Amino acid sequence: MKAQDVRNLTNEELGEKLAALKKDLMNLRFRHAMGQLENPLLINSCKKDIARINTEIRARGL
């Protein structure tokens, strides 16, 4: 997800997307621990997407 895509989302959509990404991150970590994750780089990209959304939420709060 690009930063421009995050800026175009509404506050409600940001909250929903953040919850979904956190759930995905938990599933990715679990699959990685079990040795079933084909691409471990998905964890990093998910974490970066969460950070982008948190940054936008914080920027809107100020």
pLDDT level of residue 55 (50, 70, 90 thresholds):
very high
pLDDT level of residue 1 (50, 70, 90 thresholds):
confident
Residue range 27-54: average pLDDT?
96
pLDDT level of residue 32 (50, 70, 90 thresholds):
very high
Instruction: Indicate the burial class of 31 (C-beta count within 10 angstroms; 0-12, 13-18, 19 or more).
Output: middle
Q: Which domain holds residue 52?
A: 3-61
Tokens at residue 31, please?
A: 């699959």
**pTM given for the model:** 0.91
Residue range 18-45: average pLDDT?
96
Domain with residue 11: its CATH number is 1.10.287.310
What's the rounded Cα separation, in Å, for the pair 1 and 33? 25
DSSP 36: -
Domain count for the chain: 1
